[in-house]
Structure 1
Amino acid sequence: MKLFTFLILTLLTGSAFAQGSDLPYVEGSAKLKGYLVKPKAAKGKVPGVVVLHAWMGLTNHEKESANKLASLGYIALAADVYGKNESPKSVQDAGKLSGYYKSNREVYRARVKAAIDQLVKAGADPERIAVIGYCFGGTGALEAARANFPVKGVVSFHGGLDKGPGETPGIKPKILVLHGADDPYVPKEQIDAFQNEMRAAKADWQMVYYADAVHAFTEPGAGTDKSKGAAYNEAAARRSWEHMKLFFAELFAK
């Protein structure tokens, strides 16, 4: 019975039609290793999605997101921001690594741009690219929009909304922010500043709040204890994925 259920779920999700593999690439002198998935049934160039990892580096969470995106018909690259030999061993390590990139936005942007370039090299339609990210990666997705990289849109899942110094130019990529209504790591002042930034940049942006959700609401490994400030929320995870799918349907419509 379990095998039958597995086969049915496989057919429904389309995961049987996707193949994933590690993808080595470089950005400057940095050696990176992402995870690339292509839909088997793809004909011609199809839209592509870069998936940016949270502060613990590239994990199964981002790889599974890439698998799910491929099952929807997209080429997906779960990118590596830190480098193949830079995996945090603790939250303290993760804080230092992610803090470096958040304090050096141009370096962070270069890593994101390298992933976009690799995705196009892998066969994605250069005119239909999106970037999504989780937590720290959500900040990176927004940086792709702020930099006006050649992407149609970006999606931030429970990401930081703060920006680096300097003015934001007119933002061309469309933006979707999926946010836990009770996220203690993104204070109201940061939300207000972000929304004012979007208005000043004349961006096409949306922000969706999920009730009873805190930071990391898409991550099952975060547990379910809201009092810690980061916890999985099944309803928010499911709803946010559906909101992303609707956003992509509009974004990639021919």
Structure 2
Amino acid sequence: MALQRVEITYGSPEIGGPFIGALHWDDALTGPRPGVMVAPAFRGRSEFEEARAQELAALGYVGFAIDYYGQGWTTTDATEAHAAKDKLDADRATLAARMLAALEALKSQDLVDAERTAAMGYCFGGKAVLDLAREGVGIGGVASFHGILDRAATAPDMKIVSDVLVMHGWDDPLARPDSVLAFGQEMTERGAKWQLHAYGNTGHAFTNPAAKPGAQPGFGFDVKATARSWRALVDFLAEVLR
């Protein structure tokens, strides 16, 4: 195994680009292979998402840690991150356009089999990959970890052709049971092949070791939910990218 990493620039100024993402792959493998986008949490691309892209590379995929803010912007300051996230959340059409640009950038890579792609995301990145599926694009599947589930008013009313996997902490205050039910109804009405894994006594950010349990109500790292959700993802990718 010889894991490699390179940053690539993609996307147009019309949607806030250029964007800077990081590709990860195993150089010991030959030929095109499936590609998987990793959409970051609201702080922007960080070591956490890069590590997940690296893990995907070790599984034989091309992992692509993407940028949905532009210029590779990221921050460790929560106030700055919330401001950036809120601005983009108020313009979901632009968010969807940026996700489409990232998908096209992934598909254009020589290492990637453009017919076999998927996307996963954390927190706001979970919302971003669900919005990508809502655009009706031809992607094998999308997977959301503790993502926000609400449908954008700008989402087109069309069939969702990708498989959808949601890993959800039942006590997540950012995606309460009513929004979970609304999401399930939306997916069913739009013909999606969808599944939802709900983890009891588990809140938002359950995959993030930096989220200290009890520090904020409804938030906190959970080692078992993290392991279970990753196993679910691995099985999901093997199925939709076969």
* Category of TM-score, reference length = shorter chain: over 0.9
**Contact persistence 1:129–1:153 (CA under 8 A):** yes
Unaligned runs of 5+ in 2: none
Offset of 1:174 from its aligned partner?
A: 0.4
Structure-2 change in CA distance of 1:185 and 1:26 (3 Å):
same
- The structure with the greater share of residues assigned to helix is 1
**Contact persistence 1:35–1:63 (CA under 8 A):** yes
**Contact persistence 2:108–2:114 (CA under 8 A):** no
Structure-2 change in CA distance of 1:97 and 1:185 (3 Å):
same
Aligned counterpart, 2:97: 110
Amino acid at match of 2:85: S
Percent of counterpart pairs with the same letter?
34
Amino acid at match of 2:51: E
**Contact persistence 1:76–1:119 (CA under 8 A):** no
Offset of 1:226 from its aligned partner?
A: 6.3
Q: Match of 1:222, SS?
A: coil
4+ runs of 1 displaced by more than 6 Å? none
Please give the TM-score of this superposition, normalised by the length of structure 2.
0.93
- Counterpart CA distance in 2 for 1:224 and 1:28 is 40
**Contact persistence 2:164–2:192 (CA under 8 A):** yes
Aligned counterpart, 2:217: 228
Aligned counterpart, 1:175: 164
Structure-2 change in CA distance of 1:89 and 1:239 (3 Å):
closer
Offset of 1:26 from its aligned partner?
A: 2.8
- Counterpart CA distance in 1 for 2:112 and 2:190 is 28
Unaligned runs of 5+ in 1: 1-15
Does 2:36 align with 1:45?
no
Aligned counterpart, 2:148: 160
- Counterpart CA distance in 2 for 1:247 and 1:17 is 25
Which entry has the higher C-alpha Rg, 1 or 2? 1
For 1:19-168, list aligned pairs within 5 A: 19-29=4-14, 30-84=17-71, 86-88=73-75, 90-122=77-109, 123-165=111-153, 168=157
Offset of 1:227 from its aligned partner?
A: 4.3
- Counterpart CA distance in 1 for 2:143 and 2:221 is 18
- Counterpart CA distance in 2 for 1:55 and 1:147 is 21
For 1:8-23, list aligned pairs within 5 A: 16-23=1-8
- Counterpart CA distance in 1 for 2:210 and 2:2 is 26
**Contact persistence 2:22–2:64 (CA under 8 A):** yes
